[in-house]
């Protein structure tokens, strides 16, 4: 656990995760690879879009051409640059490449609270991460689509059906096969059940709504607080993707072409 | 998968995944299938359990080798050079960002029973004991000739036509002897045998220039060899290109049997898996999906040796050693590579030595690689296998079936890239032009 974490005093409170570069600290941001995992259409892309662009698209089409998005998070004097990697739909037929998550420092494993099956899938991803990923990876288990059950849990369902269709596919990572899954808005995964599993497995646990934004920023700040930044910073210096790492000399291959890293520091990185 | 696609790709080897990524970026609707539940096919890097499953009938790996999953063992060992075509594709497609590369510590060549460091530049070559005293001036003339040579400037040609004169004629022009020829043709141009000498010199000269450029780049970066290698093994290369394809909406289905290639009047129309049929205009795949449409062209012997120490005399965390054919009395060179924890391909204290060459006899494969086995020193465990090499019988222009070539015994990816370019030309009717991926 890093110093920043133990102090528990991150800059600002609510909006800390969305701040830009710090005023004082000139230190280079620490780059963190965060992967999104989970069954198709649980809302992985929507969580990222809410976090990075603070937006939500109903009936979102799969994103084409975006390899990952980045967002800076400030933690005390340290700026973290989170590279948020999306699955690019490869999970749809259980064909996600291990390369995708192997060297991640953090993973957000998402399930849909209205679909019990998606928690089973999340559990199998967590098992896979525990076998294949870095031993100190920070994993957050996230139950998404709180908004779908909010009506039911708070009020008596007024006109449930009207919203249902619009919401059902809102988070779709893929287009097919999920129309049935989220049609019923009943909560199928109780908070206590998922939390108990997360605690037992040493995971962060949050419930979110990519639609309303509830819990989204918190998810990423909780992750940031749990990362061992000292270790990551020293590892990052040793070896970085996209570069040729040879002892002292780090050669940036990308400088060979005319494209630069710059266009990828913010927003769409493809 | 019951849909219509532009192209269906079978097998997730490097050639197939490169084409998948390139075609998806160009807007083609791609369905990519593999019968295995892992990416890479023959170009996968397997873990220790998978290796024992394949070569030891599923026996458990001994505990002394550590965690099975800490191993990434290439079934087709190769290195990359920064100047080669594959690296250009990695850069221009931005796939490089998915990978972490390190350098190979040393490059050596076997001569008279000993191994010597391969000089990494023409200048170093002139100082090396591999080039005899009387040859040094002659070699210098040859290297400066290549440096100054311009296709459109006859004054730089010295009366030679590199597109017509053979390499033997070029060697003779500069008075280079057998030893110098061996060093240039095998350690720099990386030819597996001496057939190149009777062919037009241009291809060999291009390879020497590519080697020299890569070596010069290595010097600038303070690396000791022109070779680079991705962390976690070569198996990450096809995975990285598969991701590129997926990012551009390519659909991936692993663990999916391919039960039938469907043709209508000799022209490809679709692929059936179980009860489902995907239709497309074209199909691309590796030879294992088209046993009736390929012919065997040779066999490659490969060996993997698990060591507890670096290769003696090379004494580095990673190395390439070339044993030129003349030195071992063979017709083809033997390549030895050594990798370790520095490349994240095995646990600390383990070294993985790979040996590969083209089979020349029907004798026990080990007898053909004896010199290399001796060179790698004490071997704790050894796996030796022979792979058939296939090429397609047709070029796909009639039946819309485009089949890749098997991976050969060369130590680099130039032949893979040549195949990708050639297939791309046949598939699209256009030359492959590398462009920056700048669209948002």
Neighbours of A118 (CB within 10 A): 27
Strand B101-103 and strand A243-246: the pairing is: parallel
Instruction: Report which secondary-structure segment, H or E, holds A150.
Output: helix A146-154
The pLDDT, as a whole number, for residue A152 is 64
pLDDT at res. B222: 82
Which of B70, B87, B101 should one mutate to test binding to chain A, selecting the residue with the greatest count of A CBs within 10 A? B101
User: In chain B, how long is the greatest CA-to-CA distance?
Assistant: 72
Q: What is the rounded distance in angstroms from the CA atom of residue A174 to the CA atom of residue A42?
A: 10
Most confident of A158-172, A182-196, B97-111, B287-301: B287-301
Chain B: residue whose CA lies nearest to A135: B70
- Binned at pLDDT 50, 70 and 90, residue B134 comes out as confident
CA B126: distance to chain centroid?
28
| Spacing of C-alpha B22 from chain mean position | 19
According to the model, what pLDDT value does residue B165 have? 97
> CA-to-CA distance for A18 and A74, rounded, in angstroms?
8
Category of A33 on φ-ψ map: left (φ > 0), alpha (ψ -120 to 50) or beta:
beta
Looking at the complex, report in whole angstroms how far the Cα of residue B98 sits from the nearest Cα belonging to chain A: 6
List pLDDT tens digits, range B269-295: 999 999 999 999 999 999 999 999 999
CATH code for B4-46+235-295+390-428? 3.50.50.60
For B46-66, write each residue's pLDDT tens digit. 999 999 999 999 899 999 999
Chain B residues near residue A128 by CB distance under 8 angstroms: none
Mean pLDDT across chain A, nearest whole number? Answer: 74
Q: A135: Cβ–Cβ under 8 A, 6 or more apart, which residues?
A: none
Asked which of A252-256, B78-82, B323-327 is least confident by mean pLDDT, the reply is A252-256
Nearest by CB to residue B248, choosing from A64, A240, A242, is: A64
Q: Which chain B residues have any C-beta within 8 angstroms of a chain A C-beta?
A: 39, 69, 82, 87, 90-92, 94, 96-103, 221-223, 228, 231-232, 236, 239-240, 242-243, 246-249, 251-256, 436-440
pLDDT, tens digit, for every residue of A80-133?
A: 999 999 998 888 888 999 999 988 999 999 999 999 999 999 999 999 999 888
pLDDT of residue A245: 62
- CATH architecture of the domain with residue range B118-220: Orthogonal Bundle (1.10)
Range(s) of chain B covered by CATH 3.30.519.10: 56-105+297-389
pLDDT at res. A66? 67
Task: Please provide the distance, in angstroms rounded to a whole number, between the alpha carbons at the two ends of chain A.
Answer: 32
Q: What is the pTM of this model?
A: 0.87
Q: Mean pLDDT: which of A36-50, A182-196, B7-21 is highest?
A: B7-21
Closest residue in chain B to residue A255, using alpha carbons only: B91
Asked whether the beta carbons of residue A90 and residue B436 sit closer than 8 angstroms, the reply is no
Q: How far is CA A260 from CA A115, A270, B329, in A?
A: 42, 11, 50
- Which residue in B90, B223, B247 is closest to A246 by CB distance? B223
Tokens matching residue B90: 């990695």
**Interchain pair B251, A89: CB under 8 A:** yes
- The mean per-residue pLDDT over the stretch A12-23 comes to 41
CA distance B383 to B360: 19
User: In sequence order, which residues have a C-beta less than 8 Å from that of residue A102 and are 6 or more positions away?
Assistant: A132, A133, A134, B232
Question: Average model confidence (pLDDT) for chain B?
Answer: 94
Confidence check: pLDDT of A221 > 90: yes
Residue A94: list chain B partners with CB under 8 A.
254-255
Nearest-CA neighbor of B191 among B428, B409, B45? Answer: B409
Answer yes or no: do B90 and A132 touch at CB < 8 A. no
pLDDT value of residue A265: 34
Distance between B304 CA and the closest CA of chain A, angstroms? 23
Which two structure tokens, joined as six digits, stand for A69? 């998005």
Question: Which residues, 6 or more positions from B50, have their beta carbon under 8 angstroms from its beta carbon?
Answer: none
The whole-angstrom separation of Cα A139 and Cα A118 is: 17
Contact criterion met (CB < 8 Å) for B439 and A270: yes
Q: What angle do CA A41, A42, A46 make, to 5 degrees?
A: 85
Residue A234, pLDDT score: 79
SS3 state at B70 = helix
Compute the average pLDDT of residues B151-161. 95
Pairing of strands A106-112, A30-38: parallel
Distance CA A122, CA A141 (A): 8
Which regions of chain B carry the CATH code 3.50.50.60?
4-46+235-295+390-428
Residue A132 contacts B, CB cutoff 8 Å? yes
Chain A residue nearest residue B438, CA to CA? A259
Considering the four listed CATH numbers 3.90.280.10, 3.30.519.10, 3.40.50.300, 3.40.50.620, the one that applies to the domain covering B56-105+297-389 is: 3.30.519.10
Round to whole Å and give the CA distance between B316 and B225. Answer: 12
> Do residue A97 and residue B97 have CB atoms under 8 angstroms apart?
no
- Label residue A155 exposed, middle or buried (CB < 10 Å: 0-12, 13-18, 19+): exposed
- Contact flag B252-A95 (C-beta cutoff 8 Å): yes
* B86 vs B88: CA distance, rounded Å: 5
The percent of residues in chain A predicted with pLDDT above 90, rounded, is 41
pLDDT (tens digit per residue) in B384-417:
999 999 999 999 999 999 999 999 999 899 999 9
Residue position matching structure tokens 């940031």: A224
């Amino acid at each position: 656990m890093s110093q920043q974490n133990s102090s528990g005093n991150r800059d600002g409170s609510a909006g800390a995760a969305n701040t830009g570069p710090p005023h004082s600290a000139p230190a280079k941001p620490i780059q963190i690879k965060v992967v999104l995992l989970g069954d198709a259409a649980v809302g992985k892309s929507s969580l990222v879009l809410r976090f990075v662009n603070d937006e939500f698209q109903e009936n979102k089409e799969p994103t084409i051409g975006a390899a990952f998005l980045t967002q800076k998070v400030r933690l005390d004097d340290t700026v973290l640059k989170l590279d948020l990697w999306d699955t690019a739909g490869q999970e749809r037929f259980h064909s996600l490449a291990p390369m995708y998550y192997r060297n991640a420092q953090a993973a957000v494993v998402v399930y849909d609270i209205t679909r019990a099956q998606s928690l089973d899938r999340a559990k199998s991803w967590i098992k896979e991460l525990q076998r294949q990923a870095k031993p100190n990876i920070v994993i957050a288990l996230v139950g998404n689509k709180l908004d779908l059950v909010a009506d039911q849990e708070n009020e008596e369902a007024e006109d449930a059906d009207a919203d249902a269709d619009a919401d059902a596919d809102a988070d779709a990572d893929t287009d097919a096969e999920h129309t049935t899954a989220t049609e019923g808005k009943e909560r199928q995964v109780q908070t206590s059940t998922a939390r108990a599993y997360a605690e037992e497995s040493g995971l962060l646990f949050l419930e979110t709504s990519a639609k309303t934004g509830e819990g989204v920023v918190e998810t990423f700040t909780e992750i940031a607080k749990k990362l061992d930044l000292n270790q990551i910073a020293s590892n990052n210096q040793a070896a970085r993707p996209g570069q040729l790492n040879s002892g002292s000399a780090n050669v940036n291959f990308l400088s060979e072409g005319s494209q630069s890293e710059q266009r990828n520091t913010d927003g769409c990185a493809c | 998968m019951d849909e219509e696609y532009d192209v269906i790709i079978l097998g997730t080897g490097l050639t197939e995944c490169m084409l998948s990524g390139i075609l998806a970026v160009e807007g083609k609707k791609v369905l990519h299938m593999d019968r295995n539940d892992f990416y890479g096919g023959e170009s996968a890097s397997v873990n220790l359990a998978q290796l024992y499953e394949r070569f030891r009938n599923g026996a458990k790996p001994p505990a002394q080798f550590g965690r099975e999953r800490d191993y990434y063992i290439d079934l087709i060992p190769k290195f990359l050079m920064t100047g080669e075509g594959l690296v250009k594709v990695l850069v221009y497609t931005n796939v490089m960002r998915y990978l972490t590369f390190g350098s190979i510590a040393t490059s050596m060549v076997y001569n008279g029973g000993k191994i010597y460091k391969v000089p990494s530049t023409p200048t170093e070559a002139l100082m090396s004991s591999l080039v005899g005293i009387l040859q040094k001036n002659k070699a210098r003339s040859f290297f400066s000739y290549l440096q100054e040579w311009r296709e459109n400037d006859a004054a730089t040609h010295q009366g030679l036509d590199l597109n017509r004169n053979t390499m033997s004629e070029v060697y003779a022009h500069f008075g280079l002897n057998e030893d110098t020829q061996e060093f240039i043709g095998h350690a720099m141009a990386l030819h597996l045998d001496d057939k190149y000498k009777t062919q037009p010199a241009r291809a060999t000269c291009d390879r020497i220039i590519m080697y020299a450029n890569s070596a010069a780049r290595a010097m600038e970066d303070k690396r000791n060899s022109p070779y680079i290698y991705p962390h976690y093994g070569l198996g990450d290369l096809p995975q990285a290109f598969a991701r590129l394809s997926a990012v551009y909406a390519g659909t991936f289905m692993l663990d999916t049997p391919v039960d039938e290639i469907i043709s209508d009047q000799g022209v490809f129309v679709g692929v059936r898996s179980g009860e489902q049929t995907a239709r497309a205009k074209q199909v691309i795949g590796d030879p294992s999906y088209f046993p009736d449409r390929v012919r065997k062209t040779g066999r490659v012997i490969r060996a993997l040796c698990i060591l507890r120490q670096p290769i003696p005399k090379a004494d580095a965390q990673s190395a390439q050693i070339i044993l030129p054919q003349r030195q071992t009395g063979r017709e083809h060179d033997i390549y030895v590579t050594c990798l370790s924890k520095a490349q994240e391909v095995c646990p600390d204290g383990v070294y993985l030595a790979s040996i590969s060459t083209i089979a020349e006899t029907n004798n026990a494969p080990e007898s053909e690689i004896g010199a290399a086995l001796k060179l790698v020193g004490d071997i704790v465990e050894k796996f030796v296998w022979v792979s058939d090499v296939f090429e397609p019988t047709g070029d796909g222009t009639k039946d819309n079936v485009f089949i890749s070539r098997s991976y050969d015994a060369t130590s680099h990816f130039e032949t893979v890239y040549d195949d990708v370019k050639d297939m791309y030309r046949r598939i699209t009717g256009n030359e492959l032009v590398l462009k920056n991926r700048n669209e948002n």
